Amino acid sequence: MQSRQTVHIMSAEWRWVIIVGSALVLLAFSPLLWVALHGTPGWQFMGVLHNYQDGATYISKMRLGFDGNWLVYFQDTPEPHSGAFIQVLYLLLGHLSRVLSIPQIILFHVARVGASLFMYVALYQLGATIWTRVRARRIFFLVVVLGAGLGWFFGPLLQDSALPDLAGVPETFSFYSTFMNVHFPLTIACLALLASMFITAYRPGAEEDPSIDSSWPMASLLSIILALLYPQALVPIGAALILYVGIVWLQDRRMPLRLLRWLLAVVVPAIPIAAYYEITVTYNPAMALWNRQNVTTAPTPLELVIGLGVPLIVALPGIYRAIRRFERDGDRVMLLWLACIVVAIYVPINVQRRFMVGMMIPMAYFATRAIEDVWLPRIGRRWRPAVGSIFIPFIAISQLLMLFLPVLPAITGYPQLAVGIFLERDYALAYSWLDARTSETDVILASPLASAWIPAWVGSRVVYGHPYETLNADVKKQQVLDWYTATNGADCHTLLSEYSVRYILYGPEEQKLGQTVCLSTLHQVAQIGSVTVYAP
């Protein structure tokens, strides 16, 4: 890697970022491209490869936007309820889908490409804000993008598939976040830009450059965007900035008004949005229940250490130096941010895991500090390229594993093992039939697996479709299972009348649940291959 130094980002550096970023985007989309080009005879790819349940809800919200809505209604639950101005990004993409006449699923993936590239540019910009040495900038970029833990090794040993770098917390890891959705990489990008601004503004001597303070409105804009995209992301970084200003106040025995203005530029714009969220989950019954069900617990301390893996080990000298010196520079900002993330994820609330978004940014910062100051001087110049060529792929193993794992069943000829990612092709035809005959307020009964995709493909509601966005999800899931295994015909119409079900599906996925006597009490309205559509 190059060791030349520069204050600005040179055109050669941008070319490097664009080339590497584009290669990473192509790598991230290679399983999707394989599915699109190779196909799976008899099976329909439903639209997303990773976390199909959440992916289906993102596309269903885009469909709401396509239909003209600016409020989110949970289509995975049958009850009529009041909407809320949340997850607005996907509503916006839905409106854009209508204007551009692009199918929602295609636009979802196009937006993923744009968000990924934007994140890579923002992360390199952050590295260039901190380091003048090009080599350090590139080390930081590669570690923050590709760095992950040892879940690939310890997961099988501990029989733990929920380690942070496996299926646990994808929003922690930059490259992994690009597999999942649009708002994860956008959130990381905004955090990187915000951190870049504060490291510059809080740097000693920054008060002598008035041009720096002229950019604080951009910090306010980033705060608003983060509050709309991923409000939990503001908590650790906001707490870190509050602590920074408070510590400077105690040290200097006077309020640092300039630093306080920067802090308020982030905190104040987010307050009205936070207040709206609090009012919504307090007084909107549907949103209150959704919020209570939306439980994402933090990993245990051991799982956290394993999930951060080698980057954490490499970063330890940099963290120790920052604690020992505690200087007023980027070290203090990043140290406080990292500490606030660790504290926040163990606060006893239901969204602990959400606070880990972007955690690899401060981790990669300290890893790069340690590599430059401690580890590289111990490695001979002739051995550095070899060590780097081993180190970078090694820290990326977990992310590469999670990239290709969902598509392996299709590659090996068993798409039915990729649960929720592929459905029998007749379901797609049945969804098309239903789409032409239903509205967004109609309720359809199907197996939990088939129901997950009905809001996205049909636009109608289901009895149970998502563990969080189905109200009283556990109860409704059991009701669906009981209906498809009912042996007493007297109970067949209870669920149908309770939720005003208009259509009932019975296909291969429903057959897997068992036999039900309820079909004999229904009217068959369509036979679409192996999927039968009934009405009460």
380 domain residue, yes or no: yes
Alpha-carbon distance of 267 to 139, in angstroms, equals 32
391 and 480 in a single domain? The answer is no
Question: Which residue in this structure is represented by tokens 């009932």?
Answer: 504
pLDDT (tens digit, 0 to 9) for every residue of the chain, 536 residues total?
445 776 788 999 999 999 999 999 999 999 999 998 888 889 999 999 999 999 999 999 999 999 999 999 999 999 999 999 999 999 999 999 999 999 999 999 999 999 999 999 999 999 999 999 999 999 999 999 999 999 999 999 988 888 999 887 899 999 999 999 999 999 999 999 999 999 998 888 877 777 788 888 999 999 999 999 999 999 999 999 999 999 999 999 999 999 999 999 999 999 999 999 999 999 999 999 999 999 999 999 999 999 999 999 999 999 999 999 888 878 999 999 999 999 999 999 999 999 999 999 999 999 999 999 999 999 989 999 999 999 999 999 999 999 999 999 999 989 999 999 999 999 999 999 999 999 999 999 999 999 999 999 999 999 999 999 999 999 999 999 999 999 887 778 899 999 999 999 999 999 999 889 999 899 999 999 999 999 99
279 and 340 in a single domain? The answer is yes
What's 10's DSSP letter? Answer: P
Q: Residue 215 phi/psi, 5° resolution?
A: -100, 5
6 domain residue, yes or no: no
Which residues have CB under 8 Å from 423's CB, separation 6+?
Answer: 43, 44, 46, 449, 450, 453, 509
Q: What is the pTM of this model?
A: 0.95
185 and 307 in a single domain? The answer is yes
27 and 111 in a single domain? The answer is yes
The total number of structural domains in the chain stands at 2
402 and 449 in a single domain? The answer is no
What's 9's DSSP letter? Answer: P
Alpha-carbon distance of 212 to 61, in angstroms, equals 39
345 and 389 in a single domain? The answer is yes
In 3D, which of 449, 457, 452 has the Cα closest to residue 484?
449
339 and 394 in a single domain? The answer is yes
What is the number of alpha carbons within 13 Å of residue 23 lying toward its C-beta? 9
Read out DSSP for 184-238?
HHHHHHHHHHHHHHHHHHTSTTGGG-HHHHTTHHHHHHHHHHHHHH-GGGHHHHH
Tell me the C-alpha to C-alpha distance, in Å, between residue 101 and each of 45, 65, 115, 173, 520.
21, 13, 20, 33, 42
| Contact by Cβ (8 Å): 219, 197 | yes
Domain holding 508, by residue range, is: 422-535
319 domain residue, yes or no: yes
Q: Where are the beta strands (DSSP E) in 434-510?
A: 443-445, 461-462, 501-506
Strand pairing report for 443-445 and 501-506: parallel
Strand pairing report for 461-462 and 443-445: parallel
| Contact by Cβ (8 Å): 171, 395 | no
78 domain residue, yes or no: no
- Give Cα 120 to chain centroid, integer Å: 16
Strand pairing report for 501-506 and 531-535: antiparallel
pLDDT at 1: 46
151 and 26 in a single domain? The answer is yes
Reported for 212-218, long-range contacts at CB under 8 A and 24+ positions apart, including other chains, are 213/258, 213/261, 213/262, 216/261, 216/262, 216/265, 217/265, 218/193
Query: Exposure of 275 by Cβ count < 10 A (0-12 exposed, 13-18 middle, 19+ buried)?
Result: exposed
Reported for 493-498, long-range contacts at CB under 8 A and 24+ positions apart, including other chains, are 493/521, 493/536, 495/445, 495/463, 496/445, 496/536, 497/536
pLDDT at 205: 80
112 and 174 in a single domain? The answer is yes
| Contact by Cβ (8 Å): 244, 259 | yes
How big is the CA angle at 292 (ends 288 and 295), to the nearest 5 degrees? 145
pLDDT at 3: 58
The Cβ of residue 316 has, within 10 Å, a number of other Cβ atoms equal to: 13
346 domain residue, yes or no: yes
Alpha-carbon distance of 170 to 162, in angstroms, equals 10
Alpha-carbon distance of 413 to 398, in angstroms, equals 24
Alpha-carbon distance of 165 to 403, in angstroms, equals 11
| Contact by Cβ (8 Å): 192, 126 | yes
Alpha-carbon distance of 480 to 465, in angstroms, equals 10
Which residues have CB under 8 Å from 78's CB, separation 6+?
Answer: 443, 461, 462, 463, 476, 499, 500, 501
Of all helices (H) and strands (E), which one includes residue 106? helix 104-130
| Contact by Cβ (8 Å): 5, 133 | yes
52 domain residue, yes or no: no
53 domain residue, yes or no: no
Question: Could you tell me the two tokens for 481?
Answer: 């299972």
pLDDT per position as a tens digit, 486-519? 988 777 889 999 999 999 999 999 999 988 999 9
| Contact by Cβ (8 Å): 329, 204 | yes
187 and 295 in a single domain? The answer is yes
Alpha-carbon distance of 471 to 289, in angstroms, equals 6
Read out DSSP for 117-159?
HHHHHHHHHHHHHH-SBHHHHHHHHHHHHH---SHHHHHHHHT
169 and 291 in a single domain? The answer is yes
292 domain residue, yes or no: yes
Q: Residue 403 phi/psi, 5° resolution?
A: -65, -45
Alpha-carbon distance of 78 to 500, in angstroms, equals 8
According to the 3-state scheme, what is the secondary structure of 310-334? HHHHHHHHHHHHHHHHCCCCHHHHH
pLDDT at 215: 83
| Contact by Cβ (8 Å): 238, 198 | no
| Contact by Cβ (8 Å): 172, 359 | yes
391 and 501 in a single domain? The answer is no
